[in-house]
Amino acid sequence: MPDHKIAITLTRGELARATGCNLETIRYYEKIGIIPNPPRTAAGHRIYGQTYVQRLHFILRARELGFAIDEIKGLLSLVDGGTQTCGEVKAVTELHLVDVRKKIADLRRIEQVLDTTAAQCSGEDIPDCPVLDALFEEPVTTN
């Protein structure tokens, strides 16, 4: 029995439902060129095929992993050009991992400050509050 793939064509709304992506987000991705403009029917309606579903899943997963739009564009340009190498993708991923680790360290510092400050707060119905005092302090910048 031959293996026949069924071609799918979806409207933008159907693409949104199929991928769990917001309709406005799909419009935005088209506007910035991360998703190519889809073909249109004779009546002018946009139609999206399986490649759009796969591309949108790629983008959504990359966003879920914290990749910035420019990083995703870079990865997709490698894929679109058919020139990607595992080394190039690894280099982008390792740069992103450095940023993720910095964010984790920042969040741990924030957690500690909030935990310490909240522990100093009595929670009583009085006007003096260590949490508010801490918020009035000058921010500590780290570079």
Residue 63 CA to residue 35 CA, distance in Å, equals 14
Question: Is 1-65 assigned to CATH 1.10.1660.10?
Answer: yes
- What parts of the chain have a pLDDT lower than 70? 1-7, 140-143
pLDDT at 111: 93
What are the pLDDT digits (tens) for 117-132?
888 887 778 788 888 8
User: Mean of the per-residue pLDDT values for the chain?
Assistant: 88
pLDDT at 52: 96
pLDDT at 29: 97
Residue 81 CA to residue 62 CA, distance in Å, equals 19
pLDDT at 113: 86
Residue 26 CA to residue 18 CA, distance in Å, equals 12
Residue 137 CA to residue 37 CA, distance in Å, equals 50
pLDDT at 128: 81
Asked if 7 and 52 count as a contact pair (C-beta separation under 8 A), the reply is no
Extents of the domains making up the chain: 1-65, 85-143
Residue 43 DSSP label: T
Residue 67 DSSP label: -
Q: What backbone torsions phi and psi does residue 48 show, to the nearest 5 degrees?
A: -115, 130
Straight-line distance from the first to the last Cα atom of the chain, in angstroms, rounded to the nearest whole number: 63
pLDDT at 1: 44
Strand partners, 10: 48
Residue 25 CA to residue 22 CA, distance in Å, equals 5
